[in-house]
Structure 1
């Protein structure tokens, strides 16, 4: 049996120590830059040697998260961080950015790279792509089920690809695919791909169905999943062969890390001991719920169940629901229907009814001052200190236990307990003769480089004397030199080679032992570096970056909307989402059209409609995600035989790039020239679409770093906010649990989500029943068109969503005129009331200088 590694989060030193003290095999953490939890306290880069030395002395691995997209002007700084991580003996980097993975393999080939869950890996093709980038492990998307994981292992065996797999088992669940969520960026100008998630999924939304508000009663948090808790699935995960089990929570405190790590350590230890898996006890479940939960579930691991994933009632920590309010007695006792055992000091909260559809539920509660048992499953409690009004409550108002001071005290003790260093084996050799110093050498030291230990030669301060009594025999030497308590060493062998009966004072032996410990510490990996702050590496990486960003495959301009020379006229590529829109563009001045259709049956018809209509041809786009059992969804794309494909994931890269010209879409998250070069060269793409995380300045830097004409820019779109495995149509418009019994309400209703600002965002379902919520307000880069054209961009894409035929033609005519310079970008967005923005922020558009 191979027991999975238990991997715990560490947002600061306290959490890191708590993780190790409670049984983590490894911890993951970030520094002040390039990590997806920028709101965590995080560590300083200069602390890496000390941190890794502390972990390694306790037999624990440390993984550095560098799991964000990296912009072109940040690559030198990122290279410096990679070098610092390697020097500090970090065990692995957790990486999202393709270019960063390439850079790490070139700069520090001895440093392992793990593909982050931000890579959206959902299939064997995704794992294979990570392997080609040099990854030694992949962190799979949270959306995969146990069945998917087993199928994936079989598919990897068929490919003869041995790749350790890591999955999340506990903590907060994102409703959107990690790496594919653009909500914070579009609505808050903060990018989740840059560690600045604004948690828009935790806000209330109102469901608008066919133009009417749908009354969902107390369900308001339509996009806020319950937290993940896979404790009961540990045996299945072990049987599938998952290598690492990951606990989410770098924003959580040390007590949370201690409580959750301990719970999973106990579960894994049962597997080690060969004990039958036990159902999670009520006490364990209560502890996990109180440590932090929005309600606990097995997430997607237990299988797709859109009714269970999101309860929709609240979106913050509450702890276990224990009962309901009944009444307030005349003498001031709160009567609660509950089977829970409560005690003074516990915290309770009640939810008051009657709040608005986009309002957070009102909460009433406090500490228990007194508890009395009442008949028929009731408790009478007093809340305080001070007067707490119950007028907002009605009979049946739900009640939660939010705090248990006794349990919290236990967590504090667990988090604060010391962790001794591991005792490692040590073998010594001694030699000496009368009148000479005693010489000590290290024959073997567990975990240290033999070449380094061979250099250790220690001599006693005074010379050996003839022994009148108490000669230096093996037992006496072992007794003195083996007193290594308080260090990480234990003496496992000693070989004395002394000529005659010799004597040395005990003080000299003790001094020799102390010098030995110091000498071993000096050659400890990372220890020598930790004695002084690590200076930031300012090495000039320009030549290396240029070599990595220069693709061997730099084809001339070709494909949809391309010309034959770099100085060709700028051209328009249009993405349509209906046959009506497609037909409306047959006589329009566009270079090519991409049909992004939900129904496979329409693909051949789309190609027939568009064949020969535009210079660059008719192209097709597939889904953003392909799961382990969805390779068949590519067959209709192949059979339709279009002029080219817009590819969005690893499966499409594998299947479609050999068949026709391909352009990589924004979902590949290409934010720097190193990433662009890999996709252009390795997959022979005609062009790549720039990541939507780039503002204008960053976009121009990417364009400058790529071959001319090989970056396509999306100039107009309704930003795809959430891209989700969770189906709101199934969850809120049916009684079904998945696509097998939902009745396909997505094909019958037009659905919008209204947010707290009153904006209404369209919801669409794709072939795999995945939902995309689009920004209700379109954004445009029209103002930046002159700068982008001067930089060499020649293909500009506009993406239609729900436009009619007439509106589609109008949109094309607007942008065609803007590209020809007949109207300014400023007048375009002002007349059409569009959001003038490119990527995360308006970049240089903020001032409006030099554009339009």
Structure 2
């Protein structure tokens, strides 16, 4: 294997606790990412308080490593002050970047902490070139790619000209990150809030009872790092902020072995943690049942006490990571001089005593280098030594050692010094509360035959999937002004095809686009569409709504994880709506779980998963992805008066027959209940 030039990559390690920082750096990581006690996607990890974070920044910067702070969850309005305080602390400590999911939080970073680099979290669901281009235009310096992408898709996104970060090892969620509502809906623990309960690891069977058909093996693309770098990835990310330090040590050392041109020890890596082995199936789009696995008893017991102790020993002592240059001057009748410097421009200088005339053996350059070059136990190793030395002079070894220690201490202090970034205090927003409006009904249809044309006059607008609208636009011509095109929620490998179809519809007079992901903002703007925000944008606070308004949106559907009470305090001049009826997609997946038991021909796009309680969850596929729908129908027709700050209600018709669709529309217009197992969603329960 060929050694990879260090400037071509970054090895990024997780740190869920302080010990993980040492495990990462002493095994070769270039950067770490971590979270404070709240507002991050791993709130169940130990995480870091302010003093621990300060020590970590000092330690990492001493060792030439960067520190990225995760603010990668959606935030509620009541947390705005906490977000600002966290950003102020990040500036005080001179962190190198913040990783964000929430577009409102991102806008706040740009206002109060413009010197902090912005990294777009994988929770932003970026998986196409247009999505990456959009983040670049918004001032992001890096995007963390969706885990489901192929090498060719990554190569295409790299053309956007923004730094790419990709996962190379760690847990694989079944759902595209940022689009999972299963944990929140079923148990009140939101994956978008860092509290995922991992229901996908529980039995959800596509066939025989008890199977775990949502549980993927862990990703390991460690041996394919050269291919990822060749595709345009810069930052090689290891997942695992919930894992112990020994896991971090094993994963980092395996990745480091590859970039150094050596073979990684995959046996050790699998012993530390796996779920029936590893998979890299997404990179080649070889999606199969072999990608699925559970954590077996053998997996749990594979990490022996002896192995864990060996891994622990790898990070108990400092590793020499930083090259330094040293110059020593020794002249008669002058104080001895030692200068120590690094490649970043930091310099230490120590003056010693005046040398004596040697009585027995004079100092030589070799002896000086042998004594002064003893940098063990520090972050430094000697790259080059220079000596300006007059003959016949001597200094006690204790003096030389003291000068070396003082120079090292000076350089350590300079390297670890905190360099705060500018923080701009912000006044509270004065955006007025949205005035009460006459509420309207909007309906999103999966298929043309679901549209009850006799009710068209009572809809503010209707949305129809891109393929269906393209096919039936002539039949819908009388209502063209009410039509909104709904593009695919995921566009893996089909972005250009979607753009072409949208361009044709625009030429045919369709003016409105329901934006399902950030890439579609870029696409919609370039094609001249009026933009409407869909639920997948995870709009959960007034800051995000204001950001959409700044981008020219007409309105938006707020997050289904908000409560009715939280909606009442949203501040916005942009009309906001909610999903009010229909089966909510709990997961958006690229790997169809039904294929564990059936072929596509056997499935006919009509299959279910059954959980351990016997509840059935419909799975439907289109456009190269699958959606897993809630077992119960969301229905609040009889409670719409509770949503006084909401301008419109959206019915989402997906699985229904034409007759069922007509009945749902009629019952909603009459504010009646329906004869189905129903749920009020999270509008009264909320999420953690």
Give yes or no for TM over 0.5. yes
Provide the rounded CA distance (Å) in 1 between the counterparts of 2:248 and 2:555: 45
Q: 1:233 to 1:509 in 2, by over 3 A?
A: closer
> In the alignment, is residue 660 of structure 1 matched against residue 556 of structure 2?
no
Which residue of structure 2 lines up, in the alignment, with residue 693 of structure 1?
561
Q: 1:418 to 1:122 in 2, by over 3 A?
A: same
Match of 2:665 among 799, 812, 834: 812
Q: 1:483 to 1:669 in 2, by over 3 A?
A: same
Report the CA distance between 1:195 and its aligned residue: 0.7
Provide the rounded CA distance (Å) in 2 between the counterparts of 1:494 and 1:244: 36
Report the CA distance between 1:568 and its aligned residue: 4.6
SS of match in other structure, 2:162: coil
Which residue of structure 2 lines up, in the alignment, with residue 372 of structure 1?
none
Is the Cα contact below 8 Å between 2:336 and 2:354 reproduced in 1? no
Provide the rounded CA distance (Å) in 1 between the counterparts of 2:437 and 2:68: 48
Report the CA distance between 1:728 and its aligned residue: 3.3
Instruction: For 1:297-316, list aligned pairs within 5 A.
Output: 297-311=278-292, 315-316=294-295
Match of 2:252 among 261, 266, 271: 261
Q: 1:417 to 1:513 in 2, by over 3 A?
A: closer
Which residue of structure 2 lines up, in the alignment, with residue 19 of structure 1?
24
Report the CA distance between 1:575 and its aligned residue: 1.5
Provide the rounded CA distance (Å) in 2 between the counterparts of 1:465 and 1:24: 43
Structure 2's unaligned 5+ residue stretches are none
Which residue of structure 2 lines up, in the alignment, with residue 164 of structure 1?
163
Match of 1:636 among 489, 501, 526: 501
Deviations 1:438-483 (A, max 9, x none): 69796x7326666xx6xx88787xx979989899999799898777
Report the CA distance between 1:652 and its aligned residue: 2.5
SS of match in other structure, 1:586: helix
Which residue of structure 1 lines up, in the alignment, with residue 199 of structure 2?
200
Provide the rounded CA distance (Å) in 2 between the counterparts of 1:787 and 1:776: 24
Which residue of structure 2 lines up, in the alignment, with residue 758 of structure 1?
614
Report the CA distance between 1:176 and its aligned residue: 0.7
Report the CA distance between 1:686 and its aligned residue: 0.8
Which residue of structure 2 lines up, in the alignment, with residue 48 of structure 1?
53
* Number of residue equivalences: 675
Report the CA distance between 1:269 and its aligned residue: 1.5
Provide the rounded CA distance (Å) in 2 between the counterparts of 1:228 and 1:504: 58
Instruction: For 1:604-619, list aligned pairs within 5 A.
Output: 604=470, 606-613=472-479, 617-619=482-484
Instruction: For 1:460-539, list aligned pairs within 5 A.
Output: 486-488=377-379, 516-526=407-417
Which residue of structure 2 lines up, in the alignment, with residue 446 of structure 1?
342
RMSD after superposition = 4.0
> In the alignment, is residue 711 of structure 1 matched against residue 610 of structure 2?
no
Is the Cα contact below 8 Å between 1:58 and 1:419 reproduced in 2? no
Provide the rounded CA distance (Å) in 2 between the counterparts of 1:117 and 1:259: 23
Provide the rounded CA distance (Å) in 2 between the counterparts of 1:255 and 1:262: 11
Q: 1:117 to 1:839 in 2, by over 3 A?
A: farther
Provide the rounded CA distance (Å) in 2 between the counterparts of 1:415 and 1:39: 26
Q: 1:480 to 1:410 in 2, by over 3 A?
A: closer
Instruction: For 1:354-393, list aligned pairs within 5 A.
Output: none
Query: Which one scores higher on RCO, CA 8 angstroms, separation ≥ 6?
Result: 2
Which residue of structure 2 lines up, in the alignment, with residue 375 of structure 1?
none
SS of match in other structure, 2:492: coil
Q: 1:306 to 1:218 in 2, by over 3 A?
A: farther
> In the alignment, is residue 88 of structure 1 matched against residue 93 of structure 2?
yes
Q: 1:809 to 1:13 in 2, by over 3 A?
A: same
Provide the rounded CA distance (Å) in 1 between the counterparts of 2:252 and 2:582: 44
> In the alignment, is residue 795 of structure 1 matched against residue 648 of structure 2?
yes
Deviations 1:600-633 (A, max 9, x none): 2x3245444444449x612121110112443203
Which residue of structure 1 lines up, in the alignment, with residue 186 of structure 2?
187
SS of match in other structure, 1:306: coil
Which residue of structure 1 lines up, in the alignment, with residue 548 of structure 2?
679
Select between 685-694 and 292-301 the one with higher mean Cα deviation. 292-301
Instruction: For 1:735-774, list aligned pairs within 5 A.
Output: 742-743=600-601, 745-746=602-603, 748=604, 750-766=606-622, 768-774=623-629
SS of match in other structure, 2:442: strand
Instruction: For 1:318-357, list aligned pairs within 5 A.
Output: 318-319=297-298
Is the Cα contact below 8 Å between 1:185 and 1:839 reproduced in 2? no
Which residue of structure 2 lines up, in the alignment, with residue 561 of structure 1?
none
Is the Cα contact below 8 Å between 2:276 and 2:294 reproduced in 1? no
Is the Cα contact below 8 Å between 1:781 and 1:838 reproduced in 2? no
Match of 1:779 among 617, 634, 645: 634
> In the alignment, is residue 240 of structure 1 matched against residue 239 of structure 2?
no
Select between 172-181 and 649-658 the one with higher mean Cα deviation. 649-658
Q: 1:585 to 1:73 in 2, by over 3 A?
A: farther
Q: 1:205 to 1:105 in 2, by over 3 A?
A: same
Scaled by the length of structure 2, the TM-score of the pair is 0.85
Which residue of structure 1 lines up, in the alignment, with residue 461 of structure 2?
592
Q: 1:489 to 1:675 in 2, by over 3 A?
A: same
Provide the rounded CA distance (Å) in 1 between the counterparts of 2:198 and 2:533: 28
Instruction: For 1:111-130, list aligned pairs within 5 A.
Output: 111-130=116-135
Q: 1:494 to 1:259 in 2, by over 3 A?
A: closer
Which residue of structure 2 lines up, in the alignment, with residue 57 of structure 1?
62
Deviations 1:160-216 (A, max 9, x none): x42222211222111110001110111111110111111111111233xxxxxxxx4
Is the Cα contact below 8 Å between 2:59 and 2:416 reproduced in 1? no
SS of match in other structure, 1:802: coil
Which residue of structure 1 lines up, in the alignment, with residue 469 of structure 2?
603
Is the Cα contact below 8 Å between 2:204 and 2:210 reproduced in 1? no
Scaled by the length of structure 1, the TM-score of the pair is 0.70
Report the CA distance between 1:841 and its aligned residue: 2.9
Is the Cα contact below 8 Å between 1:124 and 1:628 reproduced in 2? no
Is the Cα contact below 8 Å between 1:474 and 1:496 reproduced in 2? no
Deviations 1:253-278 (A, max 9, x none): 1222222222222222217xxxxxx7
Deviations 1:487-539 (A, max 9, x none): 556786789899xx99999878876666555544444444599xxxxxxx9x9
